[in-house]
Structure 1
Amino acid sequence: MARARSAAALAAAVLVTGLGGCGEADRPEPDPGGGTGGGTAGASVPFELVLTDDVAVSPDGRRVLADCWEGICTWDVATGTLTLVPDRNQVAVAPDWSTVATVDGGDVVLEGLPDGAPVRTFRGLDDAEVTDGSPVTAVAFSPDGQLLAAAGLDGRVVVWSVDDGAEQAAFTAAYAPQTLVFSPDGSRLALAGGGPVEVRDTADGQAVATVQGSGEAGALAWFPDGRALLGPGAGDVPTVWEAPAFEPVEELPGVRLHELAVSPDGRTVAVTAFDTTAVRLWRPRALAGAGGVRSLVGHVADPGAVAFAPDGTRLYSVAADDGVRAWDVASGRPVARTFEVPEGPDR
């Protein structure tokens, strides 16, 4: 996706402690029975070959990236070939793909991609009440890569300058955000996942707006021109709010939002929903002029994150068992290319 959103699970399990467990010592061991080690005794947690909370496309459109159960996976778009960076994970990818963000306790650490060389550490989210795993719940880069934001379980949000690591703004939200998304110009930061959608000024952290009636799903995206924000409305229905007042102008009824992405031209929204294997392409009438919805069918498992190619001609979606699929946006048809799926622990 165009965003760099929170990775709730950093191995093959959905962890209840947000981004906890980013360090290698905390990575759960795969369980051939379909769960992961280190979980609650007697409980079964879902195993994911490919994690579904985030997917990113390189600036040149030639590679796709997502976390897998045993490391960072990247795919060659032309061939579908998988390259694995083992024993690493990420919570956000820099827009230029030069670095990835990882977490270490309450710190956010930038590492080179793919060499893993440490670049810079950002501090300020330590939480004495978190003794196992990390308190960090969400991390995001600004579209120009100059700013980095992160949130903690106590609701604290910090915005830093990537160049020198200086803290630019800090504030405490009403809840622990699961998603942070910068506006296209980097001047605003939207928060979601745990309470009403909030919009903050990145220069000083001051509140710009609280979106009344918004849901608590952790999915958000700005339209490319910054004139509207898309996220969970009442009942987590996908909703468009127009800036600067952030009043609702359109919704996609009958859908419980899971993940979303907005096309580079701002006319098409890709939406995944809970309890369905279909990906929807939605054209809001309020912004695109001519509305409509198409369903993209082909995933075996329920898809999560979605991301458009930089030129907008392709859409990529990711599901836990069948991995990455590519779609032709104009026709809505699957691209006739197979993306390799990483081997599971019992293969």
Structure 2
Amino acid sequence: MSTTTTATETVPGSISVQAHEDKPVSEQYKYAHLFPVFQKDEHYPPLTPFEHVDPGHRALKHENPRSFLANAKVTQLTPPIGEEVRGVNLATLDDTAKDQLALEVARRGVVVFRDQQDFINSPPETYLEWGRYFGRLHIHPTSGHPEGFPHLHLVYRDGKSSFNYELSDRTTATTWHSDVSYELQPPGLTTLFLVAAPESGGDTIFTSQVTTLKRLSPDFVAVLRTLKAVHSGYEQADYSRSGKRGGVIRRDPVEHVHPVVRKHPVTGEESLYVNRQFTRRIVGFKREESDAILNFLYDHIDRSIDSQVRTKWEPYTVVLWDNRVTAHSAILDFIETSERRHGVRITPQAERPIPALEGLKLD
């Protein structure tokens, strides 16, 4: 999936991309229609609450909730999180299989599907149809999207440009997060695929927030269940407002309060729900108290190698994960090679996080 590049061209949205000198970018790059654009006049009203019904609920009633994998080769990647699947064509799954898929991803955290040419080479309208089955599609307030398809979130970096949310003043660009956790109803089952990737590197790493929680002492977990934390999108908006990442803000930034420990609506599993990128403070605590707890939890997530799995982007790979029970980060170890990393994320929203402690009030 690597590309050889020798010249630079500009496509709509002021993105600088690499191209061969003898061919326009639209001819030499198959996925030019998925380049990110940033339209300065694109604005959306605040998101409104909606009722979410997770498809995994229906799969619980199936006699064999994993029957969609009957003819597949399934490899467990690590005991706590992750599996790889070969022999399932995502583009041909019926509704029953999609229900089972949602349950499988909830149970394993992340599922890597190989050999998905049909899915990836589908038109963008098909991506939207796929995503809407799992929830209301989210329009990202600051990231790039393909022209005419604001519901598709794009990750993009090449030798000249980066339109990712990268904090270059740190010793590492690895930042654990659960996507847009600052929304009132953050994402559940999420789909990502790369249409261009470096020859090596550029992997995505995931961690099981179920397992990171289980590693803590029961007494400490009991305290965490009583806590609420603020998740904020203001810093991400300020990053774009400064002119980076395309420099657009499509929706006014928000912050919301979520439980520090949440419960999955289908599996009932409890998981830690804080992340360095968007969690800001624990409600009701003084700054030093909040920082002490959150920094301990962030360090715990960073260091828990035995809760993590690293996904390598073979050609035509589609990765699905459940944002409610995982955190993840791109690994930017390929920057000096100047290769292109170009991905499409389909991001359905789910329910407002359910507190693990019954009766914990979030308002």
TM (norm. structure 2) is 0.25
Q: Which has the higher strand share?
A: 1
Larger of the two Rg values belongs to structure:
2
Q: Which has the higher helix share?
A: 2
